[in-house]
Amino acid sequence: MLSIGFTVKAGTDAVAVGVRPGPILMPTAQAADKTGMISRVLAGAHNFAGEDDDVLPICTPSGWLVLVGLGEADGQNAARLRRIGGNLFQTLAEDGIKHLDVALDLDPSETAEVAYGMRLRAWRPAAHYRSKPDPETVWTLVSASLVTRDPVACETSFGPLAARATAADLARDLVVAPANELTPDAFVKRLQDLGEQGIDVEDVDLRRHRLPLLQAVGQGSSHPPRLVVLRWMGGRDKDRPIVLVGKGITFDAGGLSIKPAEDMEEMKGDMAGAAAVAGAVYAAALRRARVNVVGVLAIAENMPSGTAGRPGDVVVGHAGLSVEIIDADAEGRLILADALSFAAERFKPRLMIDLATLTGAVEVALGHHRAGLFCSDDLLAESLLAAGEAEEEPLWRLPLTEVYDEALKSAVADLRNCVWEDGPDALHAARFLQHFVPEQVPWAHIDIAGVSEAEEDGPLGPEGATGFGIRLLDHLVADGSKG
């Protein structure tokens, strides 16, 4: 964890200064170049051109001077500044520097974005999974002061961004947690800690509220399924809430339709949708946002066993529709179906968004850069697409259409949960879910199967859990609560 502050004057012996292509030294860099050393280094350093991914630490007699490429002034935007911050942290994290002053001569809001990038990049899996830390890779950089003429303005801009980053850390911690640690019970306990921030955490009694599809998915595990409602009611009492629904399969073995062994360990991350939803509610609470936002997390473990559901079982869900479960490994849509129906009935949402690592098909369709967006409402879709671009959690809209009702027809029940033939399973899944959402509720489904974990290090995080969705959801919630 990196602690971040804002100050008027650099005071330590490690300072990062800005350089634009040219090279053009920013004022602090110029001041530091009294002896002409920076200019001499730049004349010789062919790998530093002041581009926005260039970072060059120089060891000077008075300490570390870190040249940070800012790119051309033209085209400087929040996304680029975040990446600059992320790269800066990543480059120096293990170099022995404990505290860094960052003096890039940017406006307060721009300075906040750099800090946001540093903060997002400064996450890694918790140390307690190793018996002893690897001394070579321990992060030495633990705090940074960003130098600005207006620290108060920086703090104001950074506040909500820091909330987003803190929430993203929570989600990434949850996704990384192995499934023997993060059982459904343990997940609920972790969520109960959010009560400290003023979030109302309800462990829904599943004997009183019948969610048969959620039960059917969880029945093979010795850890029974759970449904958790997180409520941040920062808005007016009469305001209908934004409802976020998350898929929280703490481990997905596939049930009796068991998955191949290879890569099955990745299935501990099949609760990333629920983690993102928890993170989004957490972010709203940290910001003390004047908005009503409700998270509904459907949590279960999908295991094969003597008590597991069988392919062919027919279950009547919370909405009253019967589902023939032909594939026990198409379980996410089952628990979401009940959660969506339950949430719509109980909370009368003004809009409802679900997130889920739902299908392999969406990975084939969109790869690992964009998540799939399915939406019943064009305005909501536009807001989500815009929030995704702004936060660099990009979405791509895919078709949500009744064309696939034919494919979802069951010989015995109202619906079957998937189709065996090779086909557009992500589209089938989205249309399946739509049957459980009341028509008048604007609804979006985001399939994050391709983006919940990164295959390689990026400027805003290491490989592995990304926390995808929190930033875009909080961005949407923040925009929505203004209006």
Partner 1 sequence: MKISFAKAALPAEGALVVGILENRELSATAQQIDRQTGGLISRALAASRFEGKKDQALLLVMPAGLDVSRLLLAGLGKVADIDAQAAQNFGGNALAQLLTAGDQLVTIAVDEFPGSSLSAADFAANAACGAKLRSYRFDKYRTKEKKEDKPSVKKLTVSLADSAAAKRAFAPFESVIDGVFLTRDLVSEPANVIYPESLAREAKALAEIGVDVEILGEKQMKKLGMGALLAVGQGSEKESHLVVLRWNGATDDAEAPVAFIGKGVTFDSGGISIKPAGGMEEMKWDMGGSAVVIGLLKALALRKAKVNAVGVVGLVENMPSGTAQRPGDVVTSLSGQTIEVINTDAEGRLVLADALWYAQDRFKPRVMVDLATLTGAIIVALGDHYAGLFSNDDDLATRLQAAGKQVAEPLWRMPLDEPYDKLIKSDIADMKNVGGREGGSITAAMFLKRFVKDTKWAHLDIAGVAWAKKDGPVTPKGATAFGVRLLDRLIADNYEQK
User: CB of 443: closest distance to partner 1 in angstroms?
Assistant: 20
Nearest to 226 by CA among 206, 245, 208, 246: 206
User: CB of 396: closest distance to partner 1 in angstroms?
Assistant: 5
Contacting residue, 239, 368, 405, 454, with partner 1 by CB under 8 A: 368
**Distance of CA 38 to CAs 14, 57, 119, 148, Å?**
15, 11, 28, 22
Contacting residue, 226, 247, 370, 416, with partner 1 by CB under 8 A: 370
Using CB under 8 A as the binding rule, the residues of this chain from 448 to 467 that contact partner 1 are 450
- Helix (H/G/I), strand (E/B), else coil: 225: coil
Q: 């860099």: which residue's tokens?
A: 29
User: CB of 464: closest distance to partner 1 in angstroms?
Assistant: 17
Q: Between 23 and 459, whose beta carbon lies closer to partner 1?
A: 459
Contacting residue, 25, 176, 365, 433, with partner 1 by CB under 8 A: 365
- Interface with partner 1, residue 364, by CB under 8 A: yes
Q: Between 339 and 448, whose beta carbon lies closer to partner 1?
A: 448
Q: Between 181 and 363, whose beta carbon lies closer to partner 1?
A: 363
| Amino acid found at 439 | E
**Distance between CA atoms of residues 279 and 145, nearest Å:** 26
Dmax (CA) for the chain in angstroms is 83
Confirm whether 132 is a catalytic residue: no
Q: Are strands 63-69 and 14-20 parallel, antiparallel or unpaired?
A: parallel
**Distance between CA atoms of residues 483 and 475, nearest Å:** 13
381-420 footprint of partner 1 as x/- string (CB under 8 A): -------------x-x-xx-x-xx----------------
User: CB of 369: closest distance to partner 1 in angstroms?
Assistant: 4
Catalytic residue among 268, 333, 416, 431: 333
Buried b / exposed e over 92-128, threshold 16 CB at 10 Å, is bbeeebebbbbbbbbebbbbbbbbbbbbbbbbbeeee
- Interface with partner 1, residue 259, by CB under 8 A: no
Confirm whether 34 is a catalytic residue: no
**Distance between CA atoms of residues 323 and 417, nearest Å:** 7
Using CB under 8 A as the binding criterion, the count of chain residues that bind partner 1 stands at 23
Using CB under 8 A as the binding rule, the residues of this chain from 332 to 361 that contact partner 1 are 361
Query: CB-based contacts of 112: which residues, under 8 Å, 6+ apart?
Result: 154, 157, 158, 161
- Interface with partner 1, residue 369, by CB under 8 A: yes
By CB under 8 A, name the binding residues for partner 1.
361, 363-370, 394, 396, 398-399, 401, 403-404, 422-427, 450
Active site residues: 259, 333
